[in-house]
Structure 1
């Protein structure tokens, strides 16, 4: 009889011959992490904790080191396109792996709605519009990427990297050009909402740092995974950390109390440091970046939903389109419908404030991180550098997951729904009679 996943010690998979080099990998990694959070999270964090939000930014950069090192160790030792889901399945079996899929698939839609609101805020800043402009732009962005994915259109990898490069340039320009307007007085009072608010700000900032697991899906494509993935990871952590800390510091020191009130902090910094049509430029970049990120995530989530349906981890109604080259129209529609419902919900109940959607996303993403890091603790050699990083990551991710408060109910609800669905579908499969045209397989052959 085949042993369970817990009884088998997986052996490392050694693959090479891919095309991704160290420089290309660094660019891809930075592009995966440096996304829409950079255009909005400095303001949300400042609103939550004031100048003390800088401690949250620093803490998240420091946490990124062991977290990124954990996924780098997994990627270099077990290069596989399945990423975190594969590692969780290797370590704990198919049920926790299915939960990873549920967390990603059902959390991408509210994340899309939040990203769309970020882009809408920049359009409103450039045009002088209000909430109606923000929500209208957000709805248009969701509709645009849905139509694109329904026709199988994708944002190319080169275009996504170009947009990330433009964003990195704007972040650096905003921080440097606004620096002469910085005032140390803006650091007082440092913790106007108390020190516990730093944890709340850190929970929001998970959005900005999600993506460290993304490169595990490309680990098998590296030319020399064991050597290049750790180097790529170290370079990306340094670049992303410097950019985020620079913009966060500029937002607090330059904008002061207005940092927490701004819906478009990058545009405000550029307007102060550069002037001219900087708000229009920032809005254009924000919209293009948001479209690229939303398109990529909806495409990935829709394909994942179809695969989950095909593998009976979700209703089989979602399965059409799971094969390579096919368009998962049903899954695209489900993702779009949930994203639209999330946008309508925060518009009607929260004046189009994206913060609840960000915290909802944080809870699910941190659940994936906890499971991924726990899988690394089980899979990696004990007391190795990767194993120690994984142990630190499990503790840090679990602590950060707890800071999401009531939004922790979302991943808990997903876990309960996933396990219940798997139980019901498994019971139904056992009760289903064998097809007459399918020969039965003797039990001893199965064993």
Structure 2
């Protein structure tokens, strides 16, 4: 058996997309952005949603036309050929030892709050997350999408309970008047908030597994983005209402701070579980996407390889195991080395933006009509974001250049 199963429904796709975008961002980004822009953060969310819509629509258009487990790299292949496809694919795979373990460390921090004492060590908690990832991934995409849909519902219920228990009125949801002087802080906040929408490129790898990819895949991307944006906006109103921002400690604990204020210390374990599940949802989709990227390359270039095979549940077994083992080794290395996870996250962000940029560039060449114009706008937005992230941009470009050079030599 060498094909993935088409089991993801529209509802499951929306659940996967929204939870991937929410993930760890809900627990930090609104408070950090509020520290930068204050009440103007609401204008920042409006501006960001307007900016992300062209990118989301462009990804949706590409996925509808080219539903493939290769995701963004497959789009690049259609536009620029196999050499750049391989370079982008390997660039995405290079995030396995860099970006995903950092997110696992955050999820492990939440897991430590409810795991038994013999598993509450940071490294044990991280390896527990990896083991759970493998269990969920080997259950198949259908079961995984159902789990993530339930997690999405849980996150929405949590935010709704905050709104219901807070002294929030309809007028609080309307942005306050702003001036030209506020534009600088709004722009700075948007630069931070953009990372809430990193994840669309990972979802691109799931298009081939939708029951009706031409119809449901683009809807899942658009609705998932809008749903995540709405949750971020509403929660930002709650953060402003309770002044749960302003210091580094408060920015990273805004959700527990609000929960303790509204419901008392007995709510701590609920926040830990929801926080863990939100982080897990993001990591789970990236694990699936990375495994499918490896499998997709094997299917295209080494179809007789064991890596190109899938299980009876439609899971690329060897590719998934490869990702799991790499994650476990990276977690051990990260713990023993003591390297700050912020460094890993920054480097991974640069890689993601470069992938976004080449996907949008591919769309400019592949799409026509108004979609082409939208792709040009999306490409410009990605260039602006890439220029704003500094050293991470240089790291991603150097890695891509090295991969391009190595692939050129191997083809001779």
1:231, distance to aligned residue in structure 2 (A)? 4.2
Residues 130-167 of structure 1 deviation map (CA, whole Å, 9 limit, x = unaligned) = xxx9xx76533431243456777457332222122212
C-alpha distance in 2, partners of 1:359/1:409? 11
Task: Tell whether the 8 Å contact from 1:204 to 1:362 is kept in structure 2 after alignment.
Answer: no
**Aligned match of 1:107:** 95
C-alpha distance in 2, partners of 1:74/1:80? 10
C-alpha distance in 1, partners of 2:336/2:125? 14
Which sits farther off after the overlay, 35-44 or 400-409?
Answer: 35-44
1:69, distance to aligned residue in structure 2 (A)? 0.7
The match for 1:327 among 294, 318, 323 is 318
The match for 1:139 among 108, 120, 123 is 123
**Aligned match of 1:390:** 375
C-alpha distance in 1, partners of 2:215/2:322? 41
1:89, distance to aligned residue in structure 2 (A)? 0.5
**Aligned match of 2:54:** 66
User: What SS does the corresponding residue of 2:166 show, helix, strand or coil?
Assistant: helix
**Aligned match of 2:314:** none
> Which runs of structure 2 are paired with 1:366-381 in the superposition (5 Å)?
366-381=353-368
Which sits farther off after the overlay, 197-206 or 238-247?
Answer: 197-206
1:27, distance to aligned residue in structure 2 (A)? 3.2
Q: Evaluate the alpha carbon distance shift between residue 117 and residue 80 of structure 1 in structure 2; reply closer, same or farther with a 3 A threshold.
A: closer
Residues 209-242 of structure 1 deviation map (CA, whole Å, 9 limit, x = unaligned) = 1233444434455555555445444433332211
The match for 1:285 among 259, 266, 274 is 274
Structure 1 residue runs of 5 or longer lacking an equivalent are: 1-16, 128-132, 314-318, 428-447
User: What SS does the corresponding residue of 1:81 show, helix, strand or coil?
Assistant: coil
Which sits farther off after the overlay, 20-29 or 406-415?
Answer: 20-29
The match for 1:75 among 48, 56, 63 is 63
The match for 2:154 among 163, 166, 175 is 166
1:246, distance to aligned residue in structure 2 (A)? 1.2
1:322, distance to aligned residue in structure 2 (A)? 4.5
Q: Does 1:207 align with 2:191?
A: no
Aligned-residue RMSD, C-alpha: 3.9
C-alpha distance in 2, partners of 1:217/1:298? 11
**Aligned match of 1:14:** none
The match for 1:363 among 350, 354, 358 is 350
Return the TM-score normalized by structure 1. Answer: 0.73
Q: Does 1:251 align with 2:235?
A: no
Q: Does 1:304 align with 2:296?
A: no
**Aligned match of 1:417:** 402
Number of residue equivalences: 387
Q: Evaluate the alpha carbon distance shift between residue 149 and residue 358 of structure 1 in structure 2; reply closer, same or farther with a 3 A threshold.
A: closer
Residues 387-419 of structure 1 deviation map (CA, whole Å, 9 limit, x = unaligned) = 222111111111011111111122112212211
C-alpha distance in 2, partners of 1:290/1:24? 18
Asked which structure has the greater CA Rg, the reply is: 1
Q: Evaluate the alpha carbon distance shift between residue 182 and residue 120 of structure 1 in structure 2; reply closer, same or farther with a 3 A threshold.
A: farther
Return the TM-score normalized by structure 2. Answer: 0.78
1:274, distance to aligned residue in structure 2 (A)? 2.9
Q: Evaluate the alpha carbon distance shift between residue 117 and residue 214 of structure 1 in structure 2; reply closer, same or farther with a 3 A threshold.
A: closer
Q: Evaluate the alpha carbon distance shift between residue 113 and residue 249 of structure 1 in structure 2; reply closer, same or farther with a 3 A threshold.
A: farther
C-alpha distance in 2, partners of 1:344/1:410? 23
Q: Does 1:267 align with 2:265?
A: no
User: What SS does the corresponding residue of 1:164 show, helix, strand or coil?
Assistant: helix
Residues 343-368 of structure 1 deviation map (CA, whole Å, 9 limit, x = unaligned) = 556x45x5xxx443333222111111
Residues 267-318 of structure 1 deviation map (CA, whole Å, 9 limit, x = unaligned) = 22222233352221010222233344434433542553466578789xxxxx
Task: Tell whether the 8 Å contact from 2:15 to 2:148 is kept in structure 1 after alignment.
Answer: no
